[in-house]
Amino acid sequence: MKICLVNAQSVRNKVSSLCDFISDDDFDILTMTETWLRDTPEDIQITCALTMPGYTFTHVPRRQHTNTTARGGGVAIMHKSNIKNDIEVFMESKIIRKP
């Protein structure tokens, strides 16, 4: 199994490069930190573009505090769709529901 971690420092301008990287190296699982994505319509389009055929993409944006305009944060995991859903269960319990 091939696993990779990427500190993206924004995936917005790296969609094509990341997809080529994943495809060329045939990673089973790719995790990303610092995606800098939010739940905006524009960023949802980016996550769709990052979701390559045969892969599942799960993203958790950084929590936005009401008194800040800080950018950064966000984590994601992309894995081959034939890998069991244990990955989503892990993300659900460890990241999304973390207080």
Could you read off the pLDDT of 36-80 as tens digits, one per residue? 988 888 988 999 999 999 998 888 887 765 555 667 888 998 989
Q: What is the pLDDT of residue 96?
A: 47
pTM of the model: 0.75
Alpha-carbon distances of 21 from 11, 26, 30, 50, rounded to whole Å: 13, 8, 10, 11
The full set of domain ranges for the chain reads: 3-96
Tokens of residue 50, six digits: 């990052």
Q: What is the pLDDT of residue 98?
A: 38
Contact call for residues 77 and 91 (beta carbons, < 8 A): yes
Q: Does domain 3-96 have CATH number 3.60.10.10?
A: yes
Could you read off the pLDDT of 80-93 as tens digits, one per residue? 988 865 555 555 55
